Structure 1
Amino acid sequence: MAAEASPGARAAAPDPPVTAWERRTEWPLTVLAVLFFGAYAWRVLDTGLSPGGRSALDLFMWVAWAVYAVDYFGRLAISRQRWQFVRRHLFDLAVLLLPMFRQLRVLRLVTVLIALNRRVPSNLRTNVGVYVTGATALVGVSASLAALDAERGHAGATITTFPDALWWTLATITTVGYGDTYPVTWQGRLVAAGLMLAGIALLGVITGSIASWFVERFRGVEASLASTSQAVDESTRVELTAHAELRALRAELAELREQLSARSG
């Protein structure tokens, strides 16, 4: 009888119903995520938007958020490993629940970021340079929009335009922190905390990629040196063998010469 799988193995095992659900909803939710992002950017950047247009964009974003909530709870309902599913998607659940509070509406953008990241092809994730560049640009623009949405209109705010938000995002995500622009609301500081963590993670990925590149190059140099050394050793061995054979041949010739001299004498 085959040994029973360990709890860790069962937790890591694929969940066929959830996998099939995600395969069917991949493209619709990706398109919805892009539209969600565009609607949020339009609402934040267009200061002349009419109240009706603003309400329409808000309604669309809440509908999109509701679709993502249905997606999460639908996958949970059909999952054969519900407890493991909840444990693996705690952050997704928090992101879905927190924006229900008006003060945390800026976190709706995290929903679209999670959705897009979950649907990025695995072969793109293996290309660290492309994946990190794309993720950094998306997180940076999203953080700029969220910070501007949270800060604009508050007393003492230093982030009042989108260029200010972009400059603050660049200074924060690179961990430079000039301090000329900074959030004054707690919602903006919440965005800043997430951006700081993203910056640390980004630097870690870049540092690890550079270190991996150097290690691969040094391994290549070591392999080349080892191959060259083996070739030199082989050449030396062949040369020594040839010299030994030549000495043996000379010794045989000398012996034959002596024998011929003895017979002729």
Structure 2
Amino acid sequence: MDDESRVARWQQRTELPLALASLAFLASYAVRVLAPGLHDVWQDLSLAVLLASWALFFVDYAVCWRLSGQGLRFVPKHRLDTLVLVLPLLRPLRIVKVYEAVQRRHGKPRLALHARVIAYSGLSTVLLGFAGALAVYQQERGAPGATMRTFGDAVWWASETLTTVGYGDITPVTPMGRLIAVGMMAIGLALLGAVTGTFASWLLQVFSREDDERPPGS
């Protein structure tokens, strides 16, 4: 069995547990940001879940690195895995790749490629938007001159940013908040491009299929 096959088998076995760990990370982070006044026991528990999630992602990255046999070449060849280690909430972006590997073993996928890309892009947008709203709200609340006074404001700002609308009614004022905003802009452009490009490709295929099925001379 080659190295790539071993890595693929490991990823197939660990995808669900690590996806659940990503959701646990998100929930614990939300508790720490939105409920800072909770009893110390709950704060400590949420911190323990955060650290455990990070540990799971680190173990996954280390095992994939070891099984690949690529040494330092593993990092540039697996940029998304590296980003997942830094920010576990990016893990939903890997679902399409893993789903493809599983479906190739069981025949044709249940959904067309276009539908899968749009569905997973939508899921990733929701998860990353919520995470981004939490992160920027944590930095902006209480800052001098901040226009983001509530978490609802943060969600509204994240929606504006990810959809590239940018009304400008709410803007980050802290350095870290602006850095998070830059990342959100990049993610929004990438996801929007993936969805619109996939939808356009699907329309072209539909029109092309209709032209092929049209009788000659019609």
Is the 2:83–2:90 Cα contact (8 Å) retained in structure 1? no
Which of 66, 73, 86 is equivalent to 1:84? 73
Instruction: Tell which has more relative contact order, 1 or 2 (C-alpha 8 A, sep 6+).
Output: 2
Instruction: Write the distance in 2 (CA, Å) between the matches of 1:148 and 1:211.
Output: 35
Instruction: Write the distance in 2 (CA, Å) between the matches of 1:35 and 1:84.
Output: 31
Is the 1:150–1:187 Cα contact (8 Å) retained in structure 2? yes
Instruction: Write the distance in 2 (CA, Å) between the matches of 1:221 and 1:77.
Output: 49
Kindly, what percent of the aligned residue pairs are identical?
39
Asked if 1:166 is matched to 2:155, the reply is: yes
Which of 9, 15, 18 is equivalent to 2:7? 18
Displacement after TM superposition at 1:169 (Å): 0.8
Change (3 A) 1:70 1:125: farther
Secondary structure of the structure 2 residue equivalent to 1:211: helix
Instruction: Write the distance in 1 (CA, Å) between the matches of 2:90 and 2:112.
Output: 15
Displacement after TM superposition at 1:81 (Å): 2.1
- Structure 1 unaligned spans of 5+: 1-12, 98-109, 233-265
Secondary structure of the structure 2 residue equivalent to 1:15: helix
Asked if 1:111 is matched to 2:72, the reply is: no
After TM superposition, what 4+ stretches of structure 1 lie above 3 angstroms from structure 2? Answer: 90-97
Please show how residues 222-237 of structure 1 align to structure 2 within 5 Å.
222-225=211-214, 227-229=215-217
Name the structure 1 match of 2:177: 188
Which letter does structure 2 place at the counterpart of 1:160?
R
Instruction: Write the distance in 2 (CA, Å) between the matches of 1:203 and 1:118.
Output: 17
Name the structure 1 match of 2:18: 29
Please show how residues 1-265 of structure 1 align to structure 2 within 5 Å.
15-90=4-79, 92-93=81-82, 96=85, 110-114=87-91, 116-120=92-96, 121-122=99-100, 123=109, 126=113, 127-225=116-214, 227-229=215-217
- Structure 2 unaligned spans of 5+: 101-108
Instruction: Write the distance in 1 (CA, Å) between the matches of 2:95 and 2:51.
Output: 21
Name the structure 1 match of 2:106: none
Measured against aligned partners, the alpha-carbon deviations of 1:9-53 in whole angstroms (never above 9, x if no partner) come to xxxx86133223223322322222221111111222224323442
Instruction: Write the distance in 1 (CA, Å) between the matches of 2:12 and 2:212.
Output: 43
Instruction: Write the distance in 2 (CA, Å) between the matches of 1:132 and 1:196.
Output: 15
Displacement after TM superposition at 1:94 (Å): 5.7
Name the structure 2 match of 1:5: none
Displacement after TM superposition at 1:201 (Å): 1.5
Aligned residues: 204
Q: More displaced, 72-81 or 193-202? A: 72-81
Instruction: Write the distance in 2 (CA, Å) between the matches of 1:18 and 1:213.
Output: 32
Is the 1:79–1:85 Cα contact (8 Å) retained in structure 2? yes
Change (3 A) 1:202 1:125: farther
Displacement after TM superposition at 1:165 (Å): 0.7
Name the structure 1 match of 2:105: none
Instruction: Write the distance in 2 (CA, Å) between the matches of 1:199 and 1:55.
Output: 33
